[in-house]
Amino acid sequence: MSERQRAEAAAGGQVFQAGRDVIVHHVPAGTSRVWNLPPRNPHFTGREETLTAIRGALTGGVVAVQSLHGLGGVGKSQTAIEYAHRHAADYRCVWWIPAERPELVPEHLARLEAALGGTDFRTALSARSDWLLIFDNAESPRDLHPLLPSGGHVLITTRNTGFGGLGAVVRLDVLPRADSVALLRARVSAMSEEEADDLAELLGDLPLGLAQAAAYLEESGLPLADYFTLIRTHERMMFVEGEVVGYPHTIGTVWSLSLRHLADRAPRSLAVLRGTAFLAPEAIPIDLVTGSAEPIESARLVAPLVRHGLVQRDGDRLSVHRLLQAHLRHEAGHDDLLAVLARLRDALVADGDGVAGWRVARQSVPHLVTLMDHRGDGDQRVEDALAAIGDALDRLMAESVMGRVSRALADGATALGQPSAEHGGRLDPVVFQQIKSVVLDGVTLGVLLLFVVAVRGHEGDPDRSPSVRLGTSLILGLVEVGVGLGGVEQARLEQMRAAFGRTGPRRAPSEETRAPR
């Protein structure tokens, strides 16, 4: 027990012990027991800016209602609890109201009224200002609006959007990496900073995931290297192993209610969300997962996902937390993956001149790598769909930019500049950059070529693939004239090569199932 905890216990705080955790539930001196705040989290880390923002919003405005919005597991409840404990001296009444099930909220408020002496809580609280009500995990602002008294402070946590009409809203995101590392090392003292950084990266800095991992390592005594192996080879284990003291959910259950709501009320939106599970977590093109180029229809499909805090939208792109994606992959099937693959292939061949297709190819690079990682168990339909994308990319690269630049280099075309004595027999450096710009960059080119090779099985027969043949010529040409890859680009290209080599071509698709050429 820390010195602060001993002091709080001596002052009348209640002491709880769960495993190795010692928690002191502090009731401020001089108050009646109008106080049901959950115990403070002894491992709470970071969130200083958020806590300051909450305090400023609650004390600086006429309407003292503050909402914390964010993905399940991001730490909204723990942040609200930390705020209340930090400012406990300012309140004589603090009441915690679980609001996930709106029909049970009146029961919790009835208990508050009993604690207040049987008086209607709105009447009793509106006559004073030294109170804080916390509605945890609220579903809808409509449910809460008629229940809010005036005079004191209200703090709401929610996964859903739409609470701006009640007061200020702060979006809570995953932890900054430095705080994730600090949290892990505080719980698992043998963990090095580099190991903590690697684990935080794997868990996407989600506080619930970090807490579960720390709890499991603490409980099991498993060496960290073995834990890394287990969660990479048995992904689902991270959803159920490790008990987080004081929190009812694990990664395996925290999103269940939102997903059930989508299944009941917006099944097409749930299908869109499942489609994101096989893609990179950032910069997911909305039309790729909705299958609709109509902005209104896409907005209707995406809106429920944004409302439940399951995705973030930035223009025509979505982002999804990687742990949610991992959870969804266990719920999704081959049909969800096939739908995404079909849309990607269609987007690559949608126009005749290749301009739009080339733009899609650039945007698809991180998603192609992820698709290869999650291509599944060799289902022939998936293999054929991947091969169709490989065919489309092969033709696109051979017939558009790569072929033009490769031939230009081979022929010494004047349009791209000629080697000169001024530059040591190499092309003008400005021209080098123009060439690199035309072919996007070395990493993009390399990934697209590797994808074509991996899904079509042309390693031993490059003549069967025009883009591989021309791409090889282009890379050699760029190296010859002095346009090589930088160190960072080279390292990333090696990473991509390893990823594709690890998955490899399973078996060559039949000619009948190939995309038409």
Per-residue pLDDT tens digits for 257-295: 889 999 999 999 999 999 999 999 999 999 999 988 788
Residue 77 resides in a domain: yes
Instruction: Please name every residue paired with 191 in a beta bridge, in sequence order, or none if there are none.
Output: none
> Is the domain of 213 the same as that of 68?
no
> Is the domain of 45 the same as that of 64?
yes
> Is the domain of 208 the same as that of 183?
yes
CA distance 241 to 234: 11
The pTM of this model reads 0.73
Q: Give the pLDDT confidence score for residue 154 in this predicted structure.
A: 94
Residue 18 has pLDDT above 80, yes or no: no
Secondary structure class of 156 (helix, strand, coil): strand
CA distance 371 to 384: 13
> Is the domain of 249 the same as that of 165?
no
Question: What percent of the chain is modeled with pLDDT above 90?
Answer: 38
Give the residue from 280, 305, 332 where a domain finishes.
Answer: 332
Task: Write b or e for each residue in 103-137: b if 16 or more Cβ atoms lie within 10 A of its Cβ, otherwise e.
Answer: eebeebbeebeebbeeeebbebbeeeeebbbbbbb
Q: Give the pLDDT confidence score for residue 379 in this predicted structure.
A: 79
> Is the domain of 133 the same as that of 246?
no
Q: Give the pLDDT confidence score for residue 400 in this predicted structure.
A: 64
> Is the domain of 136 the same as that of 279?
no
Question: What would you report as the CA-atom Rg of the chain, rounded to the nearest whole angstrom?
Answer: 28
What's the token pair of residue 274? Answer: 């499942």
> Is the domain of 106 the same as that of 51?
yes
> Is the domain of 209 the same as that of 129?
no
Q: Give the pLDDT confidence score for residue 1 in this predicted structure.
A: 52
For the ranges 26-35, 274-283, 505-514, which has the lowest average pLDDT? 505-514
Give the residue from 299, 332, 365 where a domain finishes.
Answer: 332
- Average pLDDT of 332-353? 84
Q: Give the pLDDT confidence score for residue 446 in this predicted structure.
A: 64
CB 337 within 8 A of CB 278: yes
Among residues 340, 268, 307, which one has the least CA distance to residue 164? Answer: 307
Per-residue pLDDT tens digits for 137-180: 998 999 999 999 988 999 999 998 889 999 889 999 999 999 99
The more confident residue out of 243 and 185 is: 185
- Average pLDDT of 74-102? 94
The more confident residue out of 420 and 313 is: 313
Q: Give the pLDDT confidence score for residue 47 in this predicted structure.
A: 95
Residue 346 resides in a domain: no
The more confident residue out of 162 and 333 is: 162
pLDDT band at residue 15 under the 50/70/90 scheme: very low
The more confident residue out of 421 and 450 is: 450
Residue 45 has pLDDT above 80, yes or no: yes
Residue 349 resides in a domain: no
> Is the domain of 39 the same as that of 142?
yes
Give the residue from 172, 190, 223 where a domain finishes.
Answer: 172
CA distance 6 to 70: 34
Residue 506 resides in a domain: no
Residue 74 has pLDDT above 90, yes or no: yes
Among residues 174, 240, 8, 87, which one has the least CA distance to residue 183? Answer: 174
Per-residue pLDDT tens digits for 477-489: 554 444 444 554 5
Secondary structure class of 424 (helix, strand, coil): coil
- For every residue of 212-260, DSSP letters joined together read HHHHHHHHH---HHHHHHHHHHSTTHHHHSS--TT----TTTTTHHHHH
Query: 336 Cβ partners below 8 Å, 6+ apart?
Result: 271, 274, 275, 277, 278
> Is the domain of 168 the same as that of 181?
no
> Is the domain of 167 the same as that of 119?
yes
CB 244 within 8 A of CB 218: no
- Average pLDDT of 176-204? 94
Per-residue pLDDT tens digits for 196-250: 999 999 899 999 999 999 988 888 888 988 888 888 777 776 676 766 666 667 7
Residue 459 resides in a domain: no
For the ranges 45-49, 184-188, 197-201, 485-489, which has the lowest average pLDDT? 485-489
CA distance 434 to 69: 45
The one-letter amino acid code at 442 reads: G
Q: Give the pLDDT confidence score for residue 392 in this predicted structure.
A: 87
CA distance 110 to 97: 11
The number of domains in the chain is 2
Residue 492 has pLDDT above 60, yes or no: no
Which H or E run contains 129? none
Residue 302 has pLDDT above 50, yes or no: yes
Residue 509 has pLDDT above 50, yes or no: no
Per-residue pLDDT tens digits for 359-380: 888 888 889 888 887 776 667 8
Residue 503 resides in a domain: no
CB 395 within 8 A of CB 358: no
Residue 253 resides in a domain: yes
Q: Give the pLDDT confidence score for residue 512 in this predicted structure.
A: 39
Residue 3 has pLDDT above 90, yes or no: no
Q: What is the CATH number of the domain that holds 60?
A: 3.40.50.300
Q: Give the pLDDT confidence score for residue 357 in this predicted structure.
A: 79
> Is the domain of 163 the same as that of 193?
no
Q: Give the pLDDT confidence score for residue 490 in this predicted structure.
A: 54
Residue 298 resides in a domain: yes
Residue 340 has pLDDT above 80, yes or no: yes
Residue 495 has pLDDT above 80, yes or no: no
- For every residue of 283-350, DSSP letters joined together read -EEHHHHH----HHHHHHHHHHHHHTTS-EEETTEEE--HHHHHHHHTT--HHHHHHHHHHHHHHHTS
The chain-wide mean pLDDT, for the chain, equals 78
For the ranges 168-182, 215-229, 398-412, 425-439, which has the lowest average pLDDT? 425-439
CB 174 within 8 A of CB 187: no
Query: 318 Cβ partners below 8 Å, 6+ apart?
Result: 276, 284, 286, 289, 302, 305, 311, 312
Give the structural domain span for 217: 177-332
